[in-house]
Amino acid sequence: MKRLAARMIEDHGRANQEMMQIARQKQVTPPSRVGADHQQVCDRLADLRGAAFE
């Protein structure tokens, strides 16, 4: 499971860098933070542990 998580972090980090480069080329400013609805989901997931998270 840890290898999967590490791979996801690596892949998403690379994808985010590519997205930021494209945004700069197109002179688009992406949002600096997530919207309130997505933040609620993140907050809920951050509180879960063990089987509840999985």
CA distance 45 to 25: 34
pLDDT tier, 54 (very low <50, low <70, confident <90, very high otherwise): confident
pLDDT in tens, 1-50: 889 999 999 999 999 999 999 999 999 999 889 999 999 999 999 989 88
Place of tokens 């997530």: 34
Task: State the pLDDT at residue 25.
Answer: 97
Q: Which residues contact 41 (CB under 8 A, 6 or more apart)?
A: none
Predicted structure pTM score:
0.55
Report the amino acid identity of residue 12.
H
pLDDT in tens, 35-44: 999 999 999 9
User: Can you tell me whether residue 34 is helix, strand or coil?
Assistant: coil
